[in-house]
C-alpha cells in the first residue's frame, strides 16, 4: 500500500507542475455542464412571427390575435409590405401567418376556410414545433368561436420527473458524462506518453513495484482529480438546474468512480500504445470525446442511428453512465433501477485495468 | 506590394513543400470530417420511435378501444403492457420498465356521448426532455386527427340542435425550403461549419507552437519577412485544405442526405476562406498563450466548445439565456453557419446575406489581426 502511495505521490507532483491542467481540470466540468445545459435547449422562445392578413375582417383579426397571444411567439410585423419569402430567407421571420381574402366571409357562411403557416424549414426541429403550435392554436380558435366544434377528446399529458419539461437539466447531466470521461482520459494519456517521451519509462521497466502496484499508483491521483471534477460538475448543476442526489447515492458514486477509472486507464493504455503525447491526445479526442458524444444517446435517441454502427454503442461506457446520472440526479433512482449499468461500468473498469496491467507487464525487463 | 507578394509566395512554396511530405495532414483534414458529417447526420435525429408504452383502459367501451388502437398504431409507441390498475402503472414507471402510460379513465364514452369534453390521461417520462416533447407532440397531433373524425361523425347531430353554423378554420403548415422536413440538413450544415472551425484552430495552433518548440522562429526572425507574411504563408496551405474539406463534405452531404446548394458557389467558397482565416486566427492566438503542444491542444479544446455551442449551430440562439445570446454575437461560427444554411438550404444571395457576411469579415479581421500582433510581440 505504501509503495502504491509513493508512486501516486510522484505522479501528483508531476501533475501539479502544470498549472494550466490544474485550472482546466476544475473549470472544465463547471463550464461544460453550464454550456451544454444552457445552449442546447430546443424549447423555443421568442419565435419570430410575421402576419399578413389579406382579409382584415373581424374574424380574421380574432384569428390572428390567437397567435399573437401565444406565449412562444414574438410579433415582428403585421400586415407590412415585407416580402414573405425574403423574410424567411434572411431569418427575420421564422413563421409567416398568411390569411387569405374572404377568410371571415367563408367561415360565417359555414364554409371551411384555410389559413397558411409558412415555416422556415432549414431548422426542422423548430419547424416541427411551429407546425404543432399552429395546429393547436387553430383548434383553440375554433373551440372559442364555435363550442360545437370544440375537440371532443382532450389529452392531458403529464411529464413525470420533469414537469416543466426543461431540457436544460437533461443536457447538463449528459455534459457531466462527457467531461468525466474525457478529462481523466486526457490526463492518463498525457501521463503515460510523457514517460515515453522523457525516457523516464525506464524506471517503470526496472521498478521493484509489481505491475499492478505501478498501474494503481499511477492512476490513483488522476482518478482523484476526476472525483474533484465530479463534485464541481455536480455542484454547478445543482445550483443552475436543481440536480439532487438520490436518498441512496452509493450506486451513483460507485458508477462515477468506475467511470472515471475507465477514462484514466483507457488514456494510459493509449499513451503507452502510441508513446507520443500529441498523437495520444488526438486519439483521446477522437476515441473518447467524439464517440461518447455520438453514441451515448446523450444528444438524440440511439434508435435513430443505423444498425450498422449502433452496436458500437454497447462498448461506449458513456452510454451506461449517462443513463445512471440521469436516473440518479433527475429521478432519484438507485441500485434497483440502474444496478445493471453500474455493474457493467465496474466490469469495464476491470477490463481497462487488465489492459494496462498486461501492457506494463510486457514492458518489464525479465527478472 | 509586389515585394510582399514575392516573399509571400516564396514562403508559401516552402510550406507547400513541407505539406507534400505530410500526407497525413491532408488526410486528416478531409476524410475524418466527412465521415463525422455522415455519422452526425444520422445520429442527431430527434425523431422518436418505439417508446415502451403501457396502456390502461378503465372505460372498456368501443370508444375507448378505438382511441387506444389509433394511438398504439403510431410508430412512437410500442405497447409493452396492459394494466388494470393505476398502482401497477405507476410501479412500472418507478421500475423504469416503461416510458409512456396512456390511460382512458372510466366514463370516457359517456362523456363523449353527452358532448362533454372527454379526458385522456397520458404520462410521459420527462427526463429525456426532447424526446418527451416530440412524443407528446405526436400524441397531440394524433388526438387532433381523431377529434376531427369524431366531429365529422357528430356534425348531423349538431345541425339538428340548431347550434351556430360557423365554418371550420384550418391551418396548412408548409415548411419552406425543406418541405420534406429533413432533420439532417440542420445538423449537417452545423457540422460543416464546426469542423472547419475546430480543425482550423487546432492545426493552426499546432503549427504556431511548433515554431516555438523547434526554435525555427529565430530563423524566421532573421529573415526580412514581416510576421504577417510569415503567418499568411504558414497558414495558406492549411487554409486550402480546410476549404477543400468543406467542399468535399458539402458534396458528401448532397449525395447522402440530398442537401441542395441553391445559392452561389463562389460566395460559398469565399465564406469558407474568410471563416478559415478566422479559425486559424483563433488557433494562433491560443498558441501564443501556450508554451508547448499539449497546452495549446488543451486550450483549444477548452475554447472550442464555447465557439461551437454559442454559435446556434445546434439549437436556436433565442432559446439560450441572454448572456449566451450576447456571446454569440462575437462568435464567427454563428455567421458562418448562417451563411452555409442560407446558401445551401434557403438559396439566398449576397443581397440577403450581406449582414452575416459583413459580420464574419469584420470578426475575421479582428481575430487574425490580434493574433498577428500577439505573435509579433512574442518574437521581440
A256-288 pLDDT, tens per residue?
999 999 999 999 999 999 888 878 887 888 788
Residues in a beta bridge with A256: none
Neighbours of B27 (CB within 10 A): 11
Nearest to B355 by CA among B368, B370, B342: B342
Best residue in B22, B305, B315, B317 to probe A by mutation, most A CBs within 10 Å? B315
458514486: which residue's cell?
A253
Please list every residue in chain A whose beta carbon sits closer than 8 Å to the beta carbon of residue B115: 152
Q: Kindly report the number of other CB atoms within 10 A of residue B221's CB atom.
A: 12
Q: Which of A120, A149, A285, A325 is the best residue to mutate to test the B interface, defined by the most B CB atoms within 10 Å of its own CB?
A: A149
Task: Share the mean pLDDT of chain A.
Answer: 86
- In 10 A of CB B31, how many CB atoms? 12
Q: Which residue has the higher pLDDT, A357 or B170?
A: A357
Chains A, B: CB contacts within 8 A come to 329
In which band, very low, low, confident or very high, does the pLDDT at A366 lie, cut at 50, 70 and 90? low
What is the per-residue pLDDT across A313-329, written as a single tens digit (0 to 9) for each? 899 999 999 989 988 88
Dist CA A30 CA A33 (whole Å): 5
Identify the pLDDT of residue B102: 93
- Residues A170, B298: C-beta atoms closer than 8 Å: no
CB atoms within 10 A of CB B25: 17
Q: Which three cell numbers stand for residue A264?
A: 484514466
The CA-based diameter of chain B, rounded to the nearest angstrom, is 98
Q: Return the top range by mean pLDDT from A230-234, A303-307, B376-380.
A: A230-234
Say which residue the cell 526554435 belongs to: B215
Q: Are strands A73-78 and A47-53 parallel, antiparallel or unpaired?
A: parallel
Q: Which chain A residue lies closest to B173 (C-alpha atoms)? A: A117
Give A349's contacts (C-beta < 8 A, 6+ positions apart).
Answer: A258, A259, A261, A262, A265
DSSP tag of A300:
S
Chain A residues touching residue B171 (CB < 8 angstroms): 114-117, 134-135, 137-138
A window 122-181, beta carbon within 8 A of B:
122-132, 134-139, 141-142, 145-163, 165-167, 169-170
pLDDT, one tens digit per residue, over B4-56 is: 778 778 777 877 777 776 677 777 777 777 888 888 788 777 788 888 999 99
Q: Do B158 and A148 touch (CB under 8 A)?
A: yes
Whose grid coordinates read 469542423?
B195
Residues of A in contact with B314 (CB under 8 A): 39-40
A117:B132 CB<8 A: no
> If phi over 0 gives left and psi between -120 and 50 gives alpha, with beta otherwise, what is residue A207?
beta
Q: Which residues of chain B form beta strands (DSSP E)?
A: 51-57, 77-82, 100-104, 118-125, 169-176
Q: Which residues between 182 and 201 in chain A have a beta carbon less than 8 angstroms from any beta carbon of chain B?
A: 186, 190
- Per-residue confidence at A367, pLDDT binned at 50, 70, 90? low
Please state at what angle helix A250-274 crosses helix A211-241, rounded to 10 degrees: 130
CB B64 within 8 A of CB B104: yes
Report the distance separating Cα B120 and Cα B104, nearest Å.
5
B62-72 and B129-160 helices, crossing angle to 10°? 140
**Sheet harboring A47-53: ordered strands across?**
A73-78, A47-53, A95-99, A113-120, B169-176
Residue B379 has a pLDDT of: 67
User: What whole-number percentage of chain A has pLDDT above 90?
Assistant: 27
Among residues 301-320 of chain A, which lie with CB inside 8 Å of chain B? 301, 303-306, 309
Contacts with B140 from chain A: Cβ below 8 Å = 132, 136, 155, 157
A residues 317-346 closer than 8 Å to B (CB) = 326-327, 330-331, 333, 336-338
- What residues contact residue A299 under an 8 Å CB cut-off, 6+ apart? A40, A174, A293, B43, B44
Distance in angstroms (rounded) separating the CA atoms of residues A244 and A31: 19
CA distance A349 to A359: 15
- Give the DSSP letter string of A96-126: EEEEPTTHHHHHHTT--EEEEEEEETTSHHH
Q: What is the pLDDT of residue A259?
A: 96
Round to whole Å and give the CA distance between B373 and B43: 41
How confident is residue B157, by pLDDT bands cut at 50, 70 and 90?
Answer: low
d(CA A262, CA B353): 47
Domains identified in chain B and CATH numbers: 2-44+183-379 (no CATH), 51-160 (3.40.1710.10)
* CB pair distance less than 8 Å for A153 and B147: yes
Which of B141, B169, B298 lies closest to A115 in CB terms? B169
d(CA A263, CA A29): 15
Interchain contact, A20 vs B324, CB within 8 Å: no
Q: Which residues pair with A115 in a beta bridge?
A: B171
- The C-alpha atoms of residue B231 and residue B343 are separated, in whole angstroms, by 30
The tens digit of pLDDT for each residue in B107-131 reads: 999 998 888 888 999 999 888 887 8
Helices vs strands, H then E, count in chain A: 15, 5
Q: What local confidence, expressed as pLDDT, does residue B334 receive?
A: 95
Reported as a pLDDT band with limits 50, 70 and 90, residue B158 is low
State the pLDDT confidence band at A211, using cuts at 50, 70 and 90: confident
- The string of DSSP letters for B169-215 reads EEEEEEEET-TT--THHHHHHHHHHHHHHHHHHHHHHHHHHHHHHHT
DSSP element (H, E) containing A11 = helix A2-16
- For residue A69, give the 3-state DSSP assignment: coil
C-alpha B247/C-alpha B271 separation (Å) is: 12
Q: Which three cell numbers stand for residue A45?
A: 422562445
User: Looking at chain B, which residue has its C-alpha nearest residue A133?
Assistant: B137
Q: Which of A137, A47, A175, A163 is nearest to B133 (CA)?
A: A163
Domains defined for chain A, CATH in brackets: 2-40+166-363 (no CATH), 47-149 (3.40.1710.10)
Contact residues for B57 (Cβ-Cβ < 8 A; gap 6+): B64, B65, B68, B82, B104
CB B141 within 8 A of CB B310: no
Q: Cβ A301–B131 below 8 Å, yes or no?
A: yes
Q: Find, in chain A, the residue whose alpha carbon is nearest to that of B64.
A: A153
Which residues from A are below 8 Å from B122, CB to CB? 155-158
**Model pLDDT, residue B276:** 94
Compare all CA atoms of chain B with the CA of A32 and give the residue at the minimum distance.
B305
Give the burial string for B136-166 (b: 16+ CB within 10 Å, else e). bbbbbebbbebbbebbeeeeeebeeeeeeeb
Does residue B348 belong to the interface with chain A, where contact is any CB pair within 8 Å?
yes
For residue B124, what are the β-bridge partners?
A159, B100
- Interface mutation vs chain B, best among A31, A73, A97, A160, most B CBs within 10 Å: A160
Q: Give chain B positions within 8 Å (CB) of A149.
A: 151, 166, 168
CA distance A180 to A230: 7
CB nearest B125 (choices: A40, A149, A161): A161
CA distance, residue A104 to nearest chain B CA (Å): 9
Beta strands in chain A (DSSP E): 47-53, 73-78, 95-99, 113-120, 153-160
Partners of residue B133 in chain A, C-beta under 8 Å: 42-43, 129, 165, 167
Element (DSSP H or E) covering residue B306: helix B293-310
CB A228 within 8 A of CB A18: no
Alpha-carbon distance of A264 to B169, in angstroms, equals: 61
B114 touches chain A (CB under 8 A): no
Burial of A332 (0-12, 13-18, 19+ CB in 10 A): middle
User: A63 and B169: CB-CB below 8 Å?
Assistant: yes
Mean pLDDT confidence for A36-47: 83
Contacts of B326 in chain A (CB under 8 A): none
Query: What pLDDT sits at residue B161?
Result: 55
Maximal C-alpha separation, chain A: 100
pLDDT digits (tens, 9 = 90+) for A144-199: 887 777 788 888 888 888 777 777 778 888 888 888 998 899 889 988 888 888 88
Asked if A25 and A223 touch (Cβ cutoff 8 Å), the reply is no
Among B13-22, B85-94, B121-130, B206-215, the least confident range: B13-22
DSSP letter string, A134-160: HHHHHHHHHHHH-GGGS-SEEEEEEEE
pLDDT tens digits, residue range B308-348? Answer: 989 988 888 888 888 999 999 999 999 999 999 999 998 88
Strands of A258-305 (E only): list them.
none
Say if the Cβ atoms of B185 and A35 lie within 8 Å: no
Whether the Cβ atoms of residue B31 and residue B199 lie closer than 8 Å to each other:
no
Amino acid at each position: 500500500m505504501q509503495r502504491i502511495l509513493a508512486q501516486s505521490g510522484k505522479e501528483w507532483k508531476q501533475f501539479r507542475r502544470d498549472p494550466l491542467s490544474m485550472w482546466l481540470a476544475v473549470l472544465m466540468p463547471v463550464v461544460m455542464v453550464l454550456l451544454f445545459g444552457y445552449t442546447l435547449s430546443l424549447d423555443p422562445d421568442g419565435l419570430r412571427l410575421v402576419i399578413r392578413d389579406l382579409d382584415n375582417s373581424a374574424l380574421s383579426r380574432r384569428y390572428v390575435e390567437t397567435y399573437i397571444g401565444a406565449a412562444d411567439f414574438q410579433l415582428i410585423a403585421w400586415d407590412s409590405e415585407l416580402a414573405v419569402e425574403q423574410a424567411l430567407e434572411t431569418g427575420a421571420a421564422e413563421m409567416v401567418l398568411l390569411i387569405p381574402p374572404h377568410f371571415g366571409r367563408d367561415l360565417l357562411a359555414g364554409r371551411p376556410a384555410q389559413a397558411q403557416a409558412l415555416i422556415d424549414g432549414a431548422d426542422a426541429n423548430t419547424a416541427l414545433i411551429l407546425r404543432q403550435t399552429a395546429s393547436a392554436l387553430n383548434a383553440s380558435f375554433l373551440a372559442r368561436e364555435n363550442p360545437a366544434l370544440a375537440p371532443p377528446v382532450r389529452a392531458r399529458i403529464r411529464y413525470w420527473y420533469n414537469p416543466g419539461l426543461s431540457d436544460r437539466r437533461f443536457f447538463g447531466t449528459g455534459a457531466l458524462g462527457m467531461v468525466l470521461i474525457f478529462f481523466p482520459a486526457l490526463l492518463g494519456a498525457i501521463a503515460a506518453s510523457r514517460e515515453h517521451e522523457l525516457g523516464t519509462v525506464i524506471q517503470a521497466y526496472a521498478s521493484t513495484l509489481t505491475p499492478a502496484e505501478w498501474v494503481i499508483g499511477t492512476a490513483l491521483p488522476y482518478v482523484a482529480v476526476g472525483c474533484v471534477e465530479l463534485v464541481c460538475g455536480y455542484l454547478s448543476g445543482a445550483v443552475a438546474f436543481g440536480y439532487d442526489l438520490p436518498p441512496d447515492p452509493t450506486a451513483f458514486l460507485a458508477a462515477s468512480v468506475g467511470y472515471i477509472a475507465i477514462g484514466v486507464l483507457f488514456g494510459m493504455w493509449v499513451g503507452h500504445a502510441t508513446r507520443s503525447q500529441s498523437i495520444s491526445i488526438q486519439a483521446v479526442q477522437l476515441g473518447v470525446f467524439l464517440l461518447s458524444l455520438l453514441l451515448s444517446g446523450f444528444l438524440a435517441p440511439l434508435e435513430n442511428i443505423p444498425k450498422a454502427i449502433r452496436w458500437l454503442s454497447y462498448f461506449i461506457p458513456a452510454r451506461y453512465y449517462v443513463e445512471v446520472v440521469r436516473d440518479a440526479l433527475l429521478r432519484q433512482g438507485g441500485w434497483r433501477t440502474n444496478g445493471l449499468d453500474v455493474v457493467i461500468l465496474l466490469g469495464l473498469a476491470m477490463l481497462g485495468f487488465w489492459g494496462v496491467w498486461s501492457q506494463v507487464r510486457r514492458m518489464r525487463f525479465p527478472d | 506590394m509586389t515585394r510582399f507578394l514575392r516573399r509571400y509566395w516564396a514562403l508559401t512554396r516552402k510550406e507547400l513543400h513541407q505539406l507534400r511530405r505530410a500526407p497525413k495532414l491532408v488526410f486528416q483534414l478531409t476524410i475524418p470530417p466527412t465521415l463525422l458529417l455522415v455519422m452526425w447526420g444520422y445520429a442527431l435525429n430527434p425523431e422518436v420511435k418505439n417508446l415502451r408504452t403501457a396502456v390502461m383502459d378503465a372505460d372498456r367501451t368501443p370508444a375507448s378501444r378505438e382511441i387506444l388502437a389509433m394511438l398504439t398504431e403510431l410508430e412512437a409507441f410500442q405497447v409493452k403492457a396492459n394494466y388494470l390498475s393505476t398502482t401497477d402503472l405507476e410501479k412500472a414507471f418507478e421500475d423504469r420498465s416503461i416510458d409512456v402510460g396512456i390511460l382512458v379513465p372510466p366514463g370516457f364514452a359517456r362523456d363523449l356521448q353527452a358532448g362533454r369534453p372527454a379526458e385522456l390521461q397520458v404520462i410521459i417520462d420527462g427526463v429525456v426532455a426532447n424526446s418527451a416533447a416530440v412524443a407528446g407532440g405526436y400524441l397531440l397531433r394524433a388526438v387532433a386527427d381523431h377529434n376531427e373524425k369524431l366531429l365529422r361523425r357528430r356534425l348531423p347531430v349538431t345541425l339538428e340542435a340548431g347550434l351556430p353554423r360557423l365554418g371550420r378554420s384550418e391551418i396548412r403548415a408548409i415548411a419552406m425550403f425543406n418541405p420534406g422536413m429533413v432533420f439532417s440538413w440542420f445538423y449537417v450544415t452545423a457540422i460543416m461549419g464546426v469542423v472547419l472551425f475546430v480543425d482550423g484552430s487546432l492545426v493552426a495552433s499546432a503549427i504556431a507552437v511548433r515554431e516555438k518548440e523547434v526554435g525555427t522562429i529565430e530563423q524566421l526572425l532573421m529573415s526580412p519577412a514581416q510576421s504577417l507574411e510569415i503567418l499568411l504563408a504558414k497558414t495558406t496551405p492549411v487554409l486550402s485544405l480546410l476549404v477543400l474539406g468543406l467542399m468535399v463534405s458539402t458534396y458528401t452531404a448532397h449525395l447522402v442526405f440530398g442537401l441542395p446548394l441553391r445559392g452561389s458557389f463562389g460566395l460559398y467558397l469565399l465564406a469558407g476562406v474568410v471563416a478559415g482565416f478566422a479559425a486559424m486566427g483563433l488557433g494562433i492566438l491560443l498558441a501564443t498563450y501556450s508554451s508547448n503542444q499539449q497546452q495549446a491542444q488543451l486550450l483549444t479544446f477548452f475554447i472550442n466548445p464555447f465557439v461551437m455551442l454559442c454559435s446556434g449551430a445546434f439549437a436556436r440562439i433565442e432559446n439560450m439565456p441572454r448572456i449566451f445570446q450576447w456571446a454569440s454575437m462575437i462568435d464567427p461560427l454563428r455567421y458562418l453557419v448562417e451563411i452555409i444554411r442560407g446558401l445551401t438550404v434557403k438559396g439566398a444571395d449576397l443581397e440577403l446575406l450581406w449582414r452575416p457576411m459583413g459580420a464574419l469579415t469584420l470578426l475575421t479581421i479582428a481575430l487574425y489581426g490580434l493574433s498577428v500582433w500577439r505573435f509579433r510581440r512574442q518574437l521581440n
